[in-house]
C-alpha cells in the first residue's frame, strides 16, 4: 500500500509543474502537445510489453482511453495558459470529486463548497481586473472564464482516464502510457504534415527542451500515476491528489512570482474541504 501512495504523491509533485512549463516554454499549443506525445511514446516504447500492445492496441477500451487522453491534453494546456498556476491546479483538483461521483457516490451538499471555491476565484479575478483596469485595457488579458471551463473539462477527462486505466488490465503500466499517447501522436503528426507549415515553424532548441522536460517530468509522473490508479481504490486515490494543489502554489510563488490573495486561498480551501468531507 505504501508504494502506490508514494507513487501518487511523487506524480502529483511532478505534474503540478505543468502550469509553469506551459507558460514559460514559449511554444504554440500544437507544438507543446506534439512534443508531449512524442516524449511519452518514445520513452514508454522502451519498456512496454509488445505482445500486450499488439493484442490491445485496437481494443475499444484502448481507443477510448487514447481519445479521452488527447482531449485531456488540449483542455489542460488551454486552461493552464489562461490561469495562474495555483488557481488552475486548484480547479483541476475537482477531479477527485468527479471520480467519486462517477464511481457511484451520491450527491452530497458538501460539493457546494466546490462551487463556492470557483466563485471566489472569479471574484478575485474581477477585483484584480478592476484594480488594474488601465493595464488590462492595454494588454491581451487571458480569458479567465474560458480558462476555468477548459480546466474543468481537463478535470473531467482526468477522472475518466482513471476508470479507463483500471479497465485495461496489465501489470506493466508503461503499457498504459503507450496506449494513452500513441494514437494521439499519430493523429497530431498527420495533422501537422497535412497542414504543411507546422513543422516549418518549429523552434528546435525549445522543441528539444520541451521533449526532454516532458520525458523526464511527464512520462515518469504518468507512469507513477497509472501504477497508483491500478493499485488504489478511488477513496484513497482521490484524496492524494490534493498534494499537487499545494505544490502548484509553491512552484508558482518560487518560480513565477505569483501572488496569493484571500480569494485564491479561500477558493483553494473550499475545494480541499469539499474533497476531504466528501463521503467515500
Q: Over the stretch 101-148, which tens digit does the pLDDT of each residue have?
A: 888 877 778 878 877 887 787 677 667 666 655 444 444 455 778 988
Q: What 8-state DSSP symbol labels residue 233?
A: -
Radius of gyration of the chain (CA): 19
Tell me the pLDDT band of 173, cut-offs 50, 70 and 90.
confident
Q: Which of 239, 245, 235, 247 has its CA nearest to residue 276? A: 239
Mean pLDDT of 254-277: 78
Query: For the CA atoms of 254, 255, 258, 260, what is the dihedral angle to 10 degrees?
Result: -20
Q: How far apart are the first and last CA of the chain?
A: 18
Residue-level pLDDT at 139 = 43
CA distances from 88 to 68, 127, 190, 219 (A): 20, 18, 30, 21
Q: What is the pLDDT of residues 58-73, one digit of tens each?
A: 999 999 999 999 999 9
Q: In 3-state terms, what secondary structure has residue 90?
A: helix
- 9-18, 54-63, 178-187, 240-249 — which is least confidently predicted? 240-249
| pLDDT bracket for residue 197 (50, 70, 90) | low
126 versus 208: which is more confidently predicted? 208
82-86, 207-211, 262-266, range with the lowest pLDDT: 82-86
Residue 93's pLDDT is what?
A: 75
Mean pLDDT within 50-58 = 95
Smallest CA-to-CA distance from 11 within 182, 166, 206, 232 is with 232
| Selection from 159, 101, 151 nearest residue 122 by Cα | 151
Judged by DSSP in three states, 200 sits in coil
pLDDT of residue 176: 93
Q: Which of 145-159, 182-196, 200-214 has the weakest average pLDDT? A: 200-214
Residue range 12-49, pLDDT digits in tens: 888 888 777 777 777 777 888 888 899 889 999 999 99
Residue 137: predicted pLDDT: 47
Which residues 6+ apart lie within 8 Å of 114 measured at CB?
A: 94, 97, 270, 271, 274
What is the chain's mean pLDDT, rounded?
Answer: 81
Which tops the pLDDT comparison, 226 or 186?
Answer: 186
> What pTM did the predictor assign?
0.73
**Where would I find the H helices in the chain?**
2-15, 18-24, 29-47, 50-56, 60-82, 85-92, 95-102, 112-131, 133-138, 144-167, 174-195, 204-213, 220-231, 234-240, 242-256, 262-277
Cell 503500466 identifies what position? 173
Amino acid at each position: 500500500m505504501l508504494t502506490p501512495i508514494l507513487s501518487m504523491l511523487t506524480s502529483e509533485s511532478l505534474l503540478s509543474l505543468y502550469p509553469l512549463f506551459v507558460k514559460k516554454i514559449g511554444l504554440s499549443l500544437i507544438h507543446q502537445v506534439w512534443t508531449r506525445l512524442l516524449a511519452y511514446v518514445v520513452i514508454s516504447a522502451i519498456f512496454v510489453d509488445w505482445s500486450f500492445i499488439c493484442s490491445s492496441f485496437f481494443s475499444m477500451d484502448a481507443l477510448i482511453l487514447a481519445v479521452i487522453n488527447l482531449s485531456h491534453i488540449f483542455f489542460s494546456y488551454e486552461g493552464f495558459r489562461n490561469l495562474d498556476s495555483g488557481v488552475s491546479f486548484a480547479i483541476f483538483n475537482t477531479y477527485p470529486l468527479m471520480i467519486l461521483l462517477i464511481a457511484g457516490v451520491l450527491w452530497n451538499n458538501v460539493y457546494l463548497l466546490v462551487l463556492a471555491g470557483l466563485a471566489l476565484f472569479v471574484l478575485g479575478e474581477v477585483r484584480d481586473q478592476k484594480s488594474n483596469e488601465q493595464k488590462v485595457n492595454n494588454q491581451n488579458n487571458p480569458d479567465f472564464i474560458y480558462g476555468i471551463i477548459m480546466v474543468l473539462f481537463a478535470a473531467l477527462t482526468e477522472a475518466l482516464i482513471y476508470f479507463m486505466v483500471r479497465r485495461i488490465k496489465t501489470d506493466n503500466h508503461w503499457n498504459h502510457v503507450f496506449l494513452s499517447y500513441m494514437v494521439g501522436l499519430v493523429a497530431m503528426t498527420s495533422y501537422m504534415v497535412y497542414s504543411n507549415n507546422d513543422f516549418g515553424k518549429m523552434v528546435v532548441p525549445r522543441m528539444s527542451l520541451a521533449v526532454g522536460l516532458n520525458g523526464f517530468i511527464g512520462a515518469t509522473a504518468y507512469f507513477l500515476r497509472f501504477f497508483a490508479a491500478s493499485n488504489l481504490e478511488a477513496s484513497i486515490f482521490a484524496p492524494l491528489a490534493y498534494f499537487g494543489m499545494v505544490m502548484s502554489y509553491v512552484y508558482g510563488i518560487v518560480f513565477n512570482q505569483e501572488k496569493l490573495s484571500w480569494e485564491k486561498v479561500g477558493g483553494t480551501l473550499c475545494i480541499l474541504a469539499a474533497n476531504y468531507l466528501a463521503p467515500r
